[in-house]
Amino acid sequence: MATTDSDIRTVLATIEDPDHGGNIVDRGMVSAILPNDDGAQIILEVEAGRADRLSSLQTRVEDAVKTALPHLAKVTVIMTAERSAGAEDANRPQRQAAPSGPAPRPGASGNGPQAGAERRTMAPDVRHIIAVASGKGGVGKSTVAANLALGLQRLGLSVGVLDADIYGPSMPRMLGVTGKPASPDGKTLDPMENHGLKIMSIGFMIEEETPMIWRGPMVQSALQQMLRDVNWGPLDVLVIDMPPGTGDAQLTLAQQVPLSGAVIVSTPQDIALLDARKGLNMFRKVDVPVFGIVENMSYFVCSNCGAQHDVFGHGGARREAERLGIPFLGEIPLHLAIRETSDGGTPVVVSNPEGEHAYAFVSIAELVRDTLEGNTTGAKPAPKIVYV
């Protein structure tokens, strides 16, 4: 007989809240229970001020469920911490002009006391944070993000990748990483590493086929924790693979993270460009520079006859970039090798570094690097979004 939500909840009702007494079910700490064929995912929600003290609670819950329900082979417990509205308002960074001066080196305080405080909270030793975004899914944004990060690493920069697509994390598979991150102090996580990159994704915490059925505040909390509570160390660039669209997660990152800029990914057809335009306008509204547009799946070259076929049209992103007055960063073809190497965990920039497809990604990385180096003020302080 399959394990039900009720079976697991009965076990959780035997676990006491260590601070306030009473069991964690009655106290409303169990946000979601997602049983599957051979395991379960349990989401605990706590106040931000108690998150550090309750780090051992995850292990207690996991052990209790496995002991009471030994047929569950895989039990994953995820803790999210939500701030109260007042605390969020108090800690929200205010808009301020970025002062002149050289870009901060890794470990530097940033642009003034307030920007320095922000960077100490969110990836403190990262020099530049860039977002790779799209207005819609299915345009190959994650493939571009992975190969862009590898291209920047190939240019001699120290690079990390944050997979911010909570509902559809793909970086573990795309970058060939399995397992769970270590926590040396029980409070922070060490990022996973492969291909010379530091990597963090919610995909490391859950089984690959487990759906993430989370409300907006839980997604926001998870994104904040993956920046604030991960030991990124000194990095030149942190590439954030953004979720598609312009919803809560995108606004959280644009508002609370001092982004140096964004790269927009689109395919050539009009419907994709329409959504890409929405993503671009979102960044403009929150004062995040847009480094340019990448046209992915730009064309297909037949391996037999050598003829170019414009499956989704061609040149639409270039024309859109010209119309909007932003740089066009380059074209990436629709090619089997790019898809196969990404699915196999060895993206084309590392699996065939001298090939033409790797060259296309590295050329885009060079433009992004040059833009970052020309940004003498460093990352802008995270702006405050005002709803009117």
Which segments of the chain belong to CATH 3.30.70?
5-84
Pick the more confident residue, 343 or 384.
Answer: 343
Confidence of residue 366 (pLDDT cuts 50, 70, 90): very high
Task: Report the Cα 122 to chain-centroid distance in Å.
Answer: 13
Residue 130 pLDDT > 90: yes
d(CA 15, CA 10): 10
Pick the more confident residue, 74 or 196.
Answer: 196
67 φ, ψ to 5°? -70, -45
Mean pLDDT of 364-377: 82
Pick the more confident residue, 340 or 81.
Answer: 340
Top mean-pLDDT range of 12-16, 116-120, 186-190: 12-16
Confidence of residue 247 (pLDDT cuts 50, 70, 90): low
Pick the more confident residue, 97 or 178.
Answer: 178
User: What's the pLDDT at 142?
Assistant: 92
Confidence of residue 119 (pLDDT cuts 50, 70, 90): very low
Residue 336 pLDDT > 90: no
Residue 94 pLDDT > 60: no
Q: What is the pLDDT of residues 201-245, one digit of tens each?
A: 988 887 776 766 666 667 777 787 888 889 999 999 999 998 876
Residue 327 pLDDT > 80: yes
Fold designation for 5-84? Alpha-Beta Plaits (3.30.70)
d(CA 164, CA 335): 26
Mean pLDDT of 349-368: 93
Question: How high is the mean pLDDT of the chain?
Answer: 78
For tokens 């924790």, what's the residue?
Answer: 225
Confidence of residue 376 (pLDDT cuts 50, 70, 90): very low
Q: Which of 24-38, 96-110, 335-349 has the lowest mean pLDDT?
A: 96-110
Q: What is the pLDDT of residues 262-317, one digit of tens each?
A: 999 888 876 667 777 777 777 877 788 899 999 888 878 777 777 777 776 677 78
What token pair was written down for 282?
């979102």
Q: Are 229 and 151 in contact (CB under 8 A)?
A: no
Please report, as a single letter, which amino acid is at residue 47. Answer: E
User: What's the pLDDT at 160?
Assistant: 96
Mean pLDDT of 340-346: 90
Residue 326 pLDDT > 70: yes
Residue 382 pLDDT > 70: no
Burial (CB count <10 Å: 0-12, 13-18, 19+), residue 183:
middle
Q: Are 141 and 265 in contact (CB under 8 A)?
A: yes
Confidence of residue 257 (pLDDT cuts 50, 70, 90): confident
- DSSP H stretches of helix in 108-247: 112-121, 141-154, 171-174, 216-228
What token pair was written down for 32?
């979601």
Domain 107-374: homologous superfamily in CATH: P-loop containing nucleotide triphosphate hydrolases (3.40.50.300)
For tokens 């803790």, what's the residue?
Answer: 79
d(CA 127, CA 161): 14
Mean pLDDT of 161-177: 90
Which segments of the chain belong to CATH 3.40.50.300?
107-374
User: What's the pLDDT at 105?
Assistant: 32
Q: What is the pLDDT of residues 22-61, one digit of tens each?
A: 888 988 888 878 777 677 878 888 776 676 677 788 888 8
Confidence of residue 361 (pLDDT cuts 50, 70, 90): very high
User: What's the pLDDT at 223?
Assistant: 81
Using DSSP bridges, classify how beta strands 30-35 and 261-266 pair: parallel, antiparallel or unpaired: unpaired
